[in-house]
Amino acid sequence: MSKTAKVVIGIVVVVLIIVLIVMRQDSTPSNVYRVGSTEALTGNAAYYGESSKKGVDLALDVATKKYPDLKFEIYHEDNQFTPKVGIDAYNKLRAEHSIDAIITQTSPVAVAIKPLAEKDGILQMAVSASASTYSSVDDLSFRTTGDSMIETAVIADLIKSKYSETALIGMNNEIGVSNIIGIEKQLKDRGVSIVSKQMYPVEATDFRTYILKLKQDDVNNVYLAGLASHIAVFLKQAEELAVPLDVLTFRTGEDPVLIRTAGKLAEKVIFTSGFDPDSTDPVIKEFVSLYKDKYSEDPNTYAAEGYVGAMFVFDSLAKCGKETECIFNYLSELKEYPTALGPVTFDRAGDIQISFFLKTVRDGKFVRFEQ
């Protein structure tokens, strides 16, 4: 065989391979939609991620019945509550499954993935992601979590009513920083004195130095923007050091690890929540019933956010297919839309308004906080 013939055959083989790859990519039927979902399924944020995943999977059941002529596929990947792992998970979902939309759980991961999803031109629905840095106007980034500035306003009102001053401590990542910025502004607007502000690494397990600083400042309460595992250890170490402290925090307080680890000390924690499983709202009641039937347990705020976020993704794809302008217009124009989180309205930044309330721990259970 001549050299020229070999070159021609080589070119033909390469062309055939390219054609086969393109055909494989285009072989997905038009009624099939692939959705990626990345949650914190391992590590100290796993409870939040597992709950969110349950909500997403329940939404898949509901969407399958709601749209019998369409097929939705969900692919889950662990993000370990870290931006790098989240980016790796996203790239894997795109490479292996050519996903048409992505659900991103937790602020650090949602913010890290956002430029990638935007570049790829696909819908991103963030859940349990309240960092203000996620918000941007007129793109395909939406979320089912109220901005941290809204959530911290509720706890700031409580601090103003109960204490004359407070201290701030936050984990040094996207959501910790966002919450500290939010609560600091809210407290200053209310004239509450902030005696100190400290940040700690997410992997921290020893809070004694931070606690001793609070003792030196002679403060009896602290806003701690951390995970429930952090708060539980913090409370135990504060007790060991004989530093009595009330802890105010955000929705991460609602994790059984807080009660298991801190025991009775967990009753010193007050946190914000945006989901009420005891609501009389018929849509919320239906979600609670479906969730209990599937998992034999009550849903929490993370499950509700995952469910609502996934349903918005499925509804968008069912209505618009992969037409991004249609998806954006559909979601951004929703007004008082009934969901498991209550009526939802998106603005052009993809943000929603959520009515937050306060919860605490009583007799080993998470309950509404009553002053």
pLDDT in tens, 245-254: 999 999 999 9
Tell me how far apart the alpha carbons of residues 255 and 248 are, in angstroms, rounded to a whole number: 14
Scanning the chain, the segments in alpha helix (DSSP H) are 3-25, 46-66, 83-97, 107-120, 148-162, 174-189, 208-217, 228-240, 256-262, 282-295, 301-320, 324-332
Same fold across 32-147+279-355 and 149-276+358-368: yes
How far apart are alpha carbons 350 and 332 in whole angstroms? 7
CATH topology for the 149-276+358-368 domain: Rossmann fold (3.40.50)
Q: What pLDDT score was predicted for residue 12?
A: 45
pLDDT at 4: 55
SS3 breakdown of the chain: % helix, strand, coil, rounded to 5? 50, 20, 30
Could you report the per-residue pLDDT of 132-178, keeping only the tens digit for each?
A: 999 999 999 999 999 999 999 999 999 999 999 999 999 999 999 99
Per-residue model confidence as pLDDT tens digits over 20-74: 434 444 445 679 999 999 999 999 999 999 999 999 999 999 999 999 999 999 9
Q: What is the pLDDT of residue 294?
A: 98
pLDDT at position 3, please? Answer: 54
Task: Identify the pLDDT of residue 364.
Answer: 95
Q: Assign domain 32-147+279-355 to its CATH superfamily.
A: Response regulator (3.40.50.2300)
Query: How far is it, in rounded angstroms, from Cα 344 to Cα 354?
Result: 8
Residue 30's pLDDT is: 77
In the chain, where the domains are located: 32-147+279-355, 149-276+358-368
pLDDT on residue 8: 44
pLDDT exceeds cutoff 80 at 185: yes
Q: How far apart are CA 224 and CA 156, in angstroms?
A: 12
Give residues with Cβ within 8 angstroms of 4, minimum separation 6. none
Q: How far is CA 68 from CA 31, 42, 55, 63, 72, in A?
A: 10, 34, 20, 8, 10
